[in-house]
Homo-oligomer: A and B are copies of this chain.
């Protein structure tokens, strides 16, 4: 086996994705006020970067139909920018980017799926067309001063096409950087990545994206999500997407747990001495609040098992 370059850092950035990727895949439709409260609870726990909404077809994703209203409330009543909080909006095309700009988003996150079948189903166009839109939108975003990141979906496996070749992911990452995006994310959309492949794939992408930061997005569908998060940190990923409570099941993997849970990831990094900027007790408290809103116990382990050592000892 090959040894890998190790670039473990003493801190890692967390993007809280419960308000968008988390809620989007839950059946319960939360009122706008609860979505706003969820974002503000993340901020209170220390989150500085939050995927707050998506600007997609409201018929396809009813949970996100009130994206503009959520952003209006967040922009109207709170001075999050002064606190250094970045609100991210997911967009799939130029129309979504225009909506994001109007809604005063701080960052647009584009998506391309590393599988023709999945990209066609998710966005209605071939990968080449999505990449052309990314290049086009990248120019618009730059002139508007809006940072743009790209998430490469199904970067480790596809429910329709099986294994995702590393070469496809590497090619899309290189093209995205050429289009001017500021960050590349590798997303294990259906929860099939393993930690060794995570390390290898990050190293392969790193080789073509230069200094562009790499973010990773994992689901805990097959219990490898936290291992993948560890491997990503070990391989030099700067940022991880996590979801409060671990909400966000995948529509293609029924009965599976969702995103890796923010509180579980923060617990692990706390134990490792790696800073996240997030407060575990605040996260656990908000996960309980979210459980109440959604009507089920969230899958995160920390909410059940609690911190270790006990808070008083750790302080």
Contact = CB atoms under 8 A, between A and B. Distances in A.
A189 to B, nearest CB: 12
Contacts of A163: 309
A204 to B, nearest CB: 16
Contacts of A191: 305
A50 to B, nearest CB: 22
Contacts of A224: 226, 264, 267-268, 271
A3 B6 CA distance: 6
Contact of A221 (B220, B221, B301): B301
Given A230-B195, A271-B194, A313-B162, A308 B10 contact: no
A255 to B, nearest CB: 5
Nearest to A304: B255
A264 to B, nearest CB: 4
Interface residues of A, number: 49
Contacts of A261: 223
Interface string A274-315: 100000000000000000000000001110110011100100
Interface string A235-262: 0000000000000000001011100010
A192 interface: yes
Q: Which of A193, A264, A305 has the most CB of B within 10 A?
A: A305
B197 A271 contact: yes
A144 interface: no
A293 to B, nearest CB: 21
A305 B221 contact: yes
A157 interface: yes
Contacts of A273: 196
Given A157-B309, A256-B305, A301-B221, A194 B231 contact: no
10 contacts: A4-B6, A196-B271, A196-B274, A221-B301, A222-B302, A222-B305, A223-B301, A224-B267, A227-B227, A253-B305
Q: Which 8 A-B pairs give the minimum distances between C-beta atoms?
A: A194-B271, A223-B301, A227-B227, A196-B272, A192-B308, A223-B264, A162-B309, A1-B8
